[in-house]
Amino acid sequence: MGDFIQIGPNPTEVYDIVMNDSRFVNIMGNGEYMFFDKEIKKRYEMESEHQDWVINQLGTERMEKLKQVPLQRIVEIEDKKFLLVHARMNSVIDSPLLYEKKTLEEFIADYDVDVNYVLIGHTHLPLYAVHWNCKPILNPGSIGCGKDGIARFAIIELDDGLVNVTYNQLKYDKEKVIRDYRKNSVPYGEKFITMFY
């Protein structure tokens, strides 16, 4: 659901895995979009040294490929349509909330598409909510950003028209992530460690 390279200490390694493995269906989050949008970049100006570091780590070819990743995408599997969105970009600029204090119904109404499920990101927290007309909204969580050293994710299985959603969690070595921040001399790294780890 986006935000896959901007925060961590190993952007090139993560990029190469996510962007080159056909099992991943990507969308861009505000963490990636800020590289290409001046308004969002201004909002995170205090992190500009970190942004420049990530851009230099990725290099021109990877950045050009990243620029092609969409902000939203519809994936159809077994006659079920899934809308993938990170968050509305204006909510990222104007508010730390998911969607400028609007309800989930208003969030979904902004997308004039006929889908069965909506998958969102941005908050890094798992969510399962049912829209008033029974359209489920899911946030699978965050695979590598947890103060408690737990990766949270969802598995969605489709079987003969039925959709089963299972939320899962696995422990990971957050101390290794912190060591990588320091070993790689990541600009703004201590702040990210405090915020996310």
- Domain residues for 58? 11-196
DSSP 86: -
Task: Kindly report, residue by residue over 123-179, the tens digit of the pLDDT.
Answer: 777 777 766 566 788 888 888 787 888 999 999 999 998 899 999 999 999 999 999
User: pLDDT for 40-60, tens place per residue?
Assistant: 777 777 788 999 999 999 999
Residue 182, token pair as written in the block: 């320091």
Look at residue 10 and tell me whether its pLDDT is greater than 80. yes
Is residue 100 domain-resident? yes
User: pLDDT exceeding 90 applies to what percent of the chain?
Assistant: 39
Tokens of 152: 């949270």
Please indicate, yes or no, if residue 107 is contained in any of the structural domains. yes
Residue 155 makes CB contacts below 8 A (sequence gap 6+) with 165, 166, 168
Domain count along the chain: 1
Q: Is 197 helix (H, G, I), strand (E, B) or coil?
A: coil
- Is residue 24 in a domain? yes
Residue 5 located in a structural domain: no
Q: Is 185's pLDDT higher than 90? A: yes
Would you give the end-to-end CA distance of the chain in angstroms? 20
* Residue 172 to residue 148: CA distance in whole angstroms: 9
Amino acid at 98: L
d(CA 117, CA 154): 13
Residue-level pLDDT at 166 = 93
Distance CA 83, CA 137 (A): 9
CATH number of the domain at 146, please.
Answer: 3.60.21.10
What integer pLDDT is reported at residue 12 of this predicted model?
A: 96
Q: Examine the pLDDT at 90 and tell me if it is beyond 90.
A: no
In a domain, residue 185? The reply is: yes
Q: How far apart are CA 92 and CA 100, in angstroms?
A: 9
Residue 4 lies in a domain: no
125 occurs within a structural domain = yes
What one-character-per-residue DSSP string does 157-186 give?
Answer: EEETTEEEEEEEEEE--HHHHHHHHHHTT-
64 within some domain: yes
